[in-house]
A and B are shown apart, each in its own frame.
Chain A
C-alpha cells in the first residue's frame, strides 16, 4: 500500500511504513549535506530512520546554496 506525502511542495507516493530515512536514501541524498523538516519540525539526521511517515506529512529537504 502507498501513502501520499508532500516533499518540497510536490506530492509523492511512498510505501506505507516508510521512514524519512528511507525517503532520503531513495532520493539519493544519503551522505549529502541535507536537513529534513517534517511538518515544520526539524528531524535530526540521526533520527530520520525512526521517523515514520504518515499520509499527508509535509516534508522539506534542504541543503546549503550560495547566498549573501
Chain B
C-alpha cells in the first residue's frame, strides 16, 4: 500500500504546486479581470484581496481629447502582477491578431513578462459573446506562428478544445457559461471531457475556466472538477460589495482546489451513518434494532 507523505503540520497538508502556463509560474490559481470596477482604487483593492498574481487587460484606442487622464497602469503594480492582454471585442482573426500585436508592443515597452502572452478571444456574436470557433482556431494558429503564448477562450466543446491544443494553444480556457452572465458552470460533463482530452498523456496541460462565474461556489465547483485555474471579472467587479467578493473568490478557489486534491467521496443513493452502529442503547439481544428498518 502506498503511504501518504508524512505530514509535518496541518498547514503543510494544504501545500500545492503553482500553476504553470506557457513558461510562467503563478502562485494563485485565480486570474482576475480589471474591467467594470466603479473606480481604479476599488479595482486595486479587489486584485489585492483576490490573491491573484495575473490580471487581464484590454487594448483600446487612446482618447485624443482630454488625454491627460489617468491610465489603468497608474493603479496596477506591474512588478507584482503579470499582465495578460486580451483581444476582447474582436470578431475576426485579423482584428484579434492586430490587437494581440498592439498589446505585445504595449507590454514590451512596460517590460512586463506578459508581453509574449495573449488571452485570445474571437467572438461570434454580440448578444451571446460566444466564441467563433472557426475564427478562434485560425487566430490561434497565426498567433502561435508569430511566437505568442496563446491562452484561448473557447466554448466548453471538447473536440474544439482538442483542436485548439493541437494548434499550439498554451492553455485552453473553456467558458463555464456566457461572459458576464453569472450562470456558473452549465455543463460540468463537457468540462470533464475537455479535461480528459486535453490532459491525455499530458497531465500538467493547464485548463482554465474562463467566464460565467457568478459567485464563489461557481469557482469552487470549477476547481473541484480538477481544472487548473479560473478566470473571472464581473463576478467581483459587479458584486454589491466587490472587495468582500474578492475575498470570497480567493477562499473558494483555495477550497475547490484542496477538495479536488483531497478526492471527494463518491455519491451514494442511501445514507451511511457517521456514528458507529454498534453500542447503541436499547439494542435487542440479537443485535437488531428495536425499530423497523
Task: Tell me which residues across on chain B come within 8 A of A56, comparing CB atoms.
Answer: none
Interface size range of chain B in the complex: 35 or more
A45 adjacent to B109 (CB under 8 Å)? yes
Check A8 for interface membership: any CB of B closer than 8 A.
Answer: yes
A67 to B232 CA separation, bound complex (whole angstroms): 10
**Provided the pairs A28-B67, A28-B68, A65-B58 are in contact, do residues A33 and B73 lie with their beta carbons within 8 angstroms?**
yes
Q: Are A62 and B57 within 8 A (Cβ)?
A: no
> Does B155 lie at the interface of the complex (its beta carbon under 8 Å from any beta carbon of A)?
no
Within 32-68 of A, Cβ neighbours of B (below 8 Å) are at 32-37, 40, 42, 44-45, 60-68
Produce 1/0 per residue, B216-250, CB < 8 A to A: 00000000000000011110000000000000000
Q: Which residues of A contact B232 (CB under 8 A)?
A: 68
Q: Which residue of the partner chain B has the closest CB to A61?
A: B62
Min CB–CB distance B96 → chain A (angstroms): 13
Bound-state Cα–Cα, A65 to B76, Å: 11
Flag if B67 contacts A33 (CB, 8 Å): no
- A35 engages B86 (CB within 8 Å): no
> Does A61 lie within 8 Å of B34, measured CB to CB?
no
Assess whether A7 is interfacial by the CB under 8 Å rule. Answer: yes
Which of B12-20, B35-43, B130-138, B284-292 forms contacts with chain A?
B35-43
Q: What is the 8 Å Cβ interface bit string for chain A, positions 15-36, against chain B (1 contact, 0 not)?
A: 0000000000001110011111
- Categorize the interface residue count of chain A: 20 to 34
Residues in A with CB closer than 8 Å to B109 are 33-35, 45
CA distance A40 to B94 in the complex (A): 10
Residue of chain A at shortest CB distance from B60? A65
> Is the C-beta of B59 less than 8 angstroms from some C-beta in chain A?
yes
Minimal Cβ-Cβ distance residue in A for B106: A35
- Shortest B85–chain A CB gap in Å is 7
Structural contact, B67 and A27, CB atoms closer than 8 A: yes
Complex Cα gap A10–B231 (Å): 35
* Binary A-proximity of B78-116 (CB < 8 A = 1, otherwise 0): 000001011010000000001001111110111000000
Contact of B60 among A9, A27, A37, A63 (CB under 8 A): A63
Q: When A28-B67, A34-B62 are in contact, do A66 and B43 touch as well, CB less than 8 Å?
A: yes
Interface pair A64/B101, CB less than 8 Å apart? no
Contact of A67 among B56, B61, B104 (CB under 8 A): B56
Report the Cα distance A65→B108, complex, angstroms.
16
Whether B105 and A42, one on each chain, are in contact in the complex, defined by CB atoms closer than 8 angstroms, is: yes
B43 partner residues in chain A, CB cutoff 8 A: 66
Q: How far is A35 from B115 in the complex, measured between Cα atoms in Å?
A: 12
Q: Does B64 contact A (CB under 8 A)?
A: yes
Q: What is the bound-complex CA distance between A10 and B61, given in angstroms?
A: 12
Residue contacts A-B, CB under 8 angstroms, 21 given: A28-B67, A32-B67, A33-B71, A35-B106, A37-B101, A42-B102, A44-B105, A44-B108, A64-B85, A65-B35, A65-B57, A66-B34, A66-B37, A66-B58, A67-B35, A67-B56, A68-B33, A68-B56, A68-B211, A68-B231, A68-B234
**Partner-B contacts on A (CB < 8 A):** 7-10, 27-29, 32-37, 40, 42, 44-45, 60-68
Residues of B bordering A, CB below 8 Å: 33-37, 40, 43, 56-62, 64, 67-68, 71-73, 83, 85-86, 88, 98, 101-106, 108-110, 179-180, 211, 231-234
Other than the given A68-B36, A68-B232, 4 more pairs (CB < 8 A) read A10-B64, A37-B98, A66-B58, A67-B34
